[in-house]
């Protein structure tokens, strides 16, 4: 139960950090709150703590909770078996981690000043494709878990969620690997840059 509550707190903090983001990040914020609701359904004993956290967030960010309530209302009309499906929260968690890795990796590039021209364009283009793919998957997740207009049985909805979960895992794995490769290449470039400087000093250049 402690782990669940810690996870809930973590999701709340992530929601606060994304407050200033644009439309795509607002959808991610909405989905984080949806993940909270999923875990609340599983953790009845921890409900009071969660409720207190919600009240705190509501006080800090006036109006945000009203935005998320639209999601909760729409969940009422979908079979609880779908809305409580644990992988919904897992998908959201993976997407949040992808966004963090993407954001941190890109933020470090100008500071290091090691990538330029085609290399930098390739990195930005690759991350942009990944983030766009994640955004599409989040939109689809929202549709599957809220829309009653979709002519889908509950088992079909869960099957689609499973596919989105596998896609999220693949995207997360790629994101970590790609970011790791960038860091390794940056270290190599930094060493080369340092070697050149030392050689110039030795040669009196």
* Residue owning tokens 């829309």: 147
User: What is the sign of the dihedral through the CA atoms of 75, 76, 77 and 79?
Assistant: positive
For residues 198 and 61, give the distance between their C-alpha atoms in angstroms, rounded to a whole number: 52
- DSSP E strands in the chain: the ranges are none
Mean pLDDT of 8-29: 52
For residues 130 and 113, give the distance between their C-alpha atoms in angstroms, rounded to a whole number: 23
* Among 23, 200, 179, 155, residue whose Cα is nearest residue 97: 179
- Here the tokens at position 64 are 């945000």
Mean pLDDT across the chain, nearest whole number? 70
- Here the tokens at position 180 are 């790791």
Say what angle helices 154-202 and 86-112 make with each other, to 10 degrees. 20
Range with the largest mean pLDDT of 2-6, 166-170, 181-185: 166-170
Which pLDDT score is estimated for 122?
92
Which pLDDT score is estimated for 22?
55
């Amino acid at each position: 139960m402690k782990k669940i509550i810690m996870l809930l707190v973590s999701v709340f903090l992530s929601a606060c950090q994304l407050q200033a983001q644009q439309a795509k990040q607002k959808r991610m914020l909405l989905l984080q709150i949806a993940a909270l609701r999923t875990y609340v359904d599983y953790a009845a004993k921890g409900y009071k703590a969660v409720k207190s956290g919600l009240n705190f967030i509501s006080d800090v960010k006036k109006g945000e909770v009203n935005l998320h309530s639209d999601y909760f209302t729409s969940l009422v009309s979908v079979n609880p078996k779908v809305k409580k499906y644990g992988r919904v929260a897992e998908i959201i968690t993976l997407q949040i981690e992808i966004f963090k890795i993407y954001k941190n990796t890109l933020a470090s590039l100008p500071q290091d000043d090691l990538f330029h021209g085609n290399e930098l364009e390739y990195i930005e283009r690759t991350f942009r494709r990944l983030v766009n793919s994640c955004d599409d998957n989040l939109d689809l997740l929202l549709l599957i878990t809220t829309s009653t207009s979709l002519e889908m049985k509950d088992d079909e909805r869960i099957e689609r969620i499973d596919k989105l979960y596998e896609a999220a895992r693949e995207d997360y794995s790629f994101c970590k690997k790609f970011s790791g490769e960038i860091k390794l290449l940056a270290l190599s470039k930094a060493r080369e840059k340092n070697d050149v400087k030392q050689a110039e000093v030795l040669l009196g250049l």
